[in-house]
Structure 1
Amino acid sequence: MQKLYSQGSRLDVSMPVIMGIVNTTPDSFSDGGDFFSTKHACDHADKLINAGAGIIDIGGESTRPGAALVTEEQELARVIPVIEYVSRHHDVWISIDTSKPAVMAAAIAAGAHMINDVRALTEPGALAMAAQLQVPVCLMHMQGQPQNMQANPEYENIIHDILTFFKARIAACIAAGISFDNLVLDPGFGFGKTLTHNYQILAQLAQFAVLDRPLLIGLSRKSMIGQLLNRDVEERLIGSVSAALIACQHGANIIRVHDVAETMDMLKVWQMTQTQMIKQN
């Protein structure tokens, strides 16, 4: 079974675990501003945990296409009080969604268990900080930066290109002193990908199993759902849950979502079916 360890706690990801999203930002693509205040963010975390989230992913900087950068001070002020609250009140894993080394350090000190970095520890000092903290880290693939990533992204072979990227980042992490067992991988749906690219990744997700690391999948409410179905953000629930089910069928270990209760219903049905299939065999 695949397990992650941090802060004296163990997380079993041999069956998919739901990661609930708490954006403490004014400009995230789906819920920007909804949980910008600390109280609203903490209340939302309570709701997601009660609905079945095994991980809460707390972020203070939007990474939607064209998103503006925020300062280290702004990000810390947004995320640390929420991390402290969740750590005090719940027995659940906490993920810090950041690329800044200082925010990583402060978040882990405040009670977070893992780092979720859309820039895959490529920012100055990030590799060294992750090696120092010795907690699980999710490395995400992104072509470009949030400010320009959707400006005509191109690949020779998208699965091969992402695998090559992951192999290079895994090697860099190990060289920096980060344990292979602490690495989680995210192919980065919507981060420098066209609609077709995103569905190629989803269809071929099982190919990433060759890397022998847990897969984190984040496609909840994204444009790959909206463009295909011609649905606004608030109308993408069924598409998002359907895509999450396909991801689970193809080997996803962590499903990062906005709609925890509905995704949990899907997981329960799928897992019961899996159990019966195993018994029949």
Structure 2
Amino acid sequence: MCFDVWQKTSSRLDSVSIVRDTVIFPNVVDTRFAFLWAWGDVNRSDNSLDSNADLLGLVTESDFRGSTVALDAFYLISEGDDDSDGVFLGASAIQRIGEFNTAFYVNQSIALDRRQVTVDDGTLLFGEVSLTPLGSHNLVYANAFWGIDNFSSASRGETNGGPIGRVGLLFASSGIGTYPAALGNGVEDAIGGAVGYQMLFNDDKTQLVGELGFVETTDDDSSVQNGIGAGVRFQHKFAERYLFQVDGFVADRERADETYGIKSEWRVQF
């Protein structure tokens, strides 16, 4: 699915879908179509719950051998009194270019009524590049985004923050309620990115990630804060079901003092 036009919500979302797989076109290995209808309890782009919303979507994915291309389109209808209907479009291409793994995404949100926090006009461009160093299972990655105006997602979980969590550790939701990401994850008139190195040990049961990131606004009226930061993650898997993880960061934000934090998790996987 395209990057963040649609993101599974953390609350319940009643929905039905119809999927048509293995549709063959000339020069295309495989194409899949999926139609989705979700009703009620839709979390909007500002993470608020809209019990009066219906979400209609068409999701497609095609394998062109050298590249996997996805096209998404969603239409959100809200029966509330806030005039917050919207259209959300997305396209992505994932492929390998030489030794590099690459992914490119473009997303567009269109407010059909008035622009507001639940739906706004905007474009979000995003790219990922990664490389596995020769002779190792490690990973070097560089991710970047460019927000034009104020892109809004069709649906976002109430604790998921903004739409650029996958840029890196410094932009991802903290997972502790609504506590913000180290560098935030808003995209209004802003650019940013992260570079990192992931090391794997003990038959890939242990990993250590180090990352540097930045965010910079392109408009003085943007709600995003400029900033730079560094993050680290240690993770170890015990047996088959247990995972211990520690995250830490330090960041310097434009409208805040230098911040730092550490978080640990112990998870049981079923």
Q: TM-score, length-normalised on structure 1?
A: 0.30
Q: TM-score, length-normalised on structure 2?
A: 0.31
Higher relative contact order (CA 8 A, sep 6+): 1
